[in-house]
Chain A
Amino acid sequence: RKEVEQDPGPFNVPEGATVAFNCTYSNSASQSFFWYRQDCRKEPKLLMSVYSSGNEDGRFTAQLNRASQYISLLIRDSKLSDSATYLCVVNDNNDMRFGAGTRLTVKP
């Protein structure tokens, strides 16, 4: 079983749609969680950290469910510029584990 699992997609959605990604992790002792965004042929960039209480940054909402060991990312009112691959990242004993990524394409 992979340590961090994501639905690879692709998710193809129209502009303005709401889209949600989930990610599950295997180590219940994992300490911190992040969502990174990676554009085609570019480096990953931090999108947001994920806190136990859930957190929001504009159109983006991240949630953590420790009991079920999953993390989610919700994007509201999606824009063309949101098209990218979204990587779920779990800090596992000072070792950052990346999911394979979920590809999102937002279409006009």
Chain B
Amino acid sequence: DAGVIQSPRHEVTEMGQEVTLRCKPISGHNSLFWYRQTMMRGLELLIYFNNNVPIDDSGMPEDRFSAKMPNASFSTLKIQPSEPRDSAVYFCASSFGSSGGTDTQYFGPGTRLTVL
């Protein structure tokens, strides 16, 4: 069974450009999470969805960040406009359950974003 799939794996862009990160959760999982990891701040939860509905977006840093989950098998995280401080590895994770946080989360390989 395929794990969580993320694309692209690497993205290099210039400041001010729009960036879209994509995630396909594990089939049958009903919770999806977006995380950001940097050396300075570690792994931070940005937003999570349960049954395609955003439950907690308090970790989204600012209005430049938006996330959608149009169906159970696809989610996007968009940054518009991007800034150099957005450079990080962005992980998507999914789990099965209704609690959102207590079930085992399976992480995708991440997207390494560099904003010049």
Contacts and interface: CB of A to CB of B under 8 A. Distances in A.
A92 B45 CA distance: 12
Contact of B45 (A34, A42, A95): A95
Contact of A94 (B43, B44, B56, B91): B56
Measured as residues with beta carbon below 8 angstroms from the partner, the interface class of chain B is: 10 to 19
A91 B42 contact: no
Q: Identify the interface centre among B42, B99, B108: most chain A CB within 10 Å of its CB.
A: B42
B99 A94 contact: yes
A52 to B, nearest CB: 14
Contact of A46 (B44, B45, B91, B105): B105
B55 A44 contact: no
Contacts of A91: 101-102
Interface in A2-40: 31-32, 34
A42 B105 contact: no
A96 interface: yes
B110 interface: yes
A43 B6 CA distance: 11
A49 B95 CA distance: 14
A98 interface: yes
Contact of B102 (A42, A43, A46, A94): A94
Interface of B: 33, 42-45, 55-56, 91, 99-102, 104-110
